[in-house]
Amino acid sequence: MIGAEELERVALVERTSGRMQAGSREAFERLTTARLDRAYRLAGIVLGDPSGARDAVHDAALRAWRHWSELREPDRFDAWFDRIVVNVCRDRSRHRRLAPVSVAGPIDPPAPDSSDGMAERDALDRALADLPAERRLVLALRFVEDLTVPGIAARTGVPEGTVKSRLHRGLSALRASYDAAERTTEVAR
């Protein structure tokens, strides 16, 4: 990954010159390339659609490139890019009904699984799909991206208290839905 000093230099040159520099493009490409897999996974969880996730990350990369010169803290590129991905996903989810989410993620190939494991994964998928998008987003950022509450707040643009509330309510709803699905499965056996 590019060092913060090099990024700062590139950003400064770009801001002062007002034009795109070759080094700036290379820095941007290296940073986004290193971040793409995580961005696809995040978008896939939020949108629940692998195709939509690819489109959202593409749109986010374009938006990030257009606003590259506005990056004030180059060492915080990951948070800046995540926030753009989250905002693009929010825009997309407002314009369509959300599809079910897969716990496996949009780009992971299906792994061999026993029937019990598949049933558990299906129950968890259904429970996630029942959550509102904002709760699903904070759960994904916390447990898939392994971010802290302040990190989630920075990426989503909501106060830390709201993040905590969404995490708590999301986990509670997820547990209740998952437990209900397990009881239904046990009764069916």
pLDDT in tens, 7-28: 554 554 444 344 444 457 888 8
Last residue of a domain, one of 84, 108, 132: 108
Rounded to 5°, the CA angle 64-135-92 comes to 40
pTM for the predicted model, two decimal places: 0.59
Residues 156 and 77 reside in one and the same domain? no
Residues 62 and 124 reside in one and the same domain? no
Q: CATH code at 136?
A: 1.10.10.10
Copy the structure tokens of residue 178: 């998952």
Residue 32 CB-half CA count within 13 A? 19
- 184 is in which domain, residue-wise? 112-189
Last residue of a domain, one of 108, 131, 166: 108
Average pLDDT over residues 90-119: 58
Distance of CA 138 to the CA centre of its chain: 9
Residues 13 and 88 reside in one and the same domain? yes
Residue 20 CB-half CA count within 13 A? 9
Place of tokens 């905590």: 164
Per-residue pLDDT of 88-98, as tens digits, reads 988 887 776 54
Rg (CA), the chain: 19
Q: Is the dihedral of CA 59, 55, 7, 158 positive or negative?
A: positive
